[in-house]
Amino acid sequence: KSSKKTEDSILETRRLTQKTISISETGFRDECNDVTCDLKKKEIREVEFNNNETQKVESTSIYHEDGNPKSQEDGIKQYVLIADRPPLKQLSSGQFLLLATFFAFQVSKNLFTLTTAKDFLASLGDDKVGHRYLTIFTLLMPVSTIVLPFVDQALHRYGFHAGLQVVSVLSLIHGIIQLSSKDLNVQILGFVMFSFFRCFLFSVVFSFIPEFLGVTVIGKGAGLLNLVNGL
């Protein structure tokens, strides 16, 4: 009888152990098979999920419950896209100021080359051949349109930063050709590089503006670039 009682006690202990609910950091263990236990586990998981989601929303939201934006005093470093800022702040952003500086330098080079082309070529002897090379230089300006497909491919594959670098490289190549050779025939290659430079410059810069400025500020930004260029 004693051994039978012992066996019954062991079986009862095992049965109770199966129904025992063990609490851990994530709630009840999955080994529990009791219906009530399952319901309690489900409720606890739902509460934990809701709490986690609430914490995520509170940590990532940049707005208070009243709709006002959180400040740096709330411990959140907030970044606002340039296009979402007020117009004055968009036009005074670092990205726009850098673009305006770049455009001003490159357009100054463009205007200087155009206004001094006649005198420069004359110094190389173009006036002795009836300004033939000046005519070639003028005729090559519209040819820059054939580069537009290459501009499009460069921007789609490598982005606007690469497009701006191409502008600098073409400007550098044209300058080197101008200074390194007094042969008028070699200068024709410089004319081609200058034509490509102009195409990349205006295409890339004025395509880049809508990428970071707001819709209502694009025209103002383009106007300011031309104003800086004029100054």
Q: Tokens 């890339």 identify what position?
A: 204
Mean pLDDT of 172-191: 93
Q: What is the pLDDT of residues 73-110, one digit of tens each?
A: 555 567 788 888 888 988 989 899 999 999 999 999 99
pLDDT of residue 23: 44
Given this model, what pLDDT does residue 3 score? Answer: 53
pLDDT single digits (tens) 9-51: 666 666 655 555 444 444 444 445 555 555 555 555 565 555 5
Higher pLDDT residue, 71 or 200? 200
pLDDT number for residue 25:
44
Q: Return all residues near 62 (Cβ < 8 A) that are at least 6 apart.
A: 69, 70, 76, 78
Rounded to a whole number of angstroms, the distance between the first and last alpha carbons of the chain is: 111
- Return the C-alpha torsion angle 143, 145, 146, 148, nearest 10: 150
**Upper half-sphere CA count for residue 106 (Cβ side, 13 Å):** 28
Render pLDDT for 184-223 as a digit per residue (tens, 0 to 9).
999 999 999 999 999 999 999 999 999 888 888 999 999 9
pLDDT score recorded for residue 59 = 44
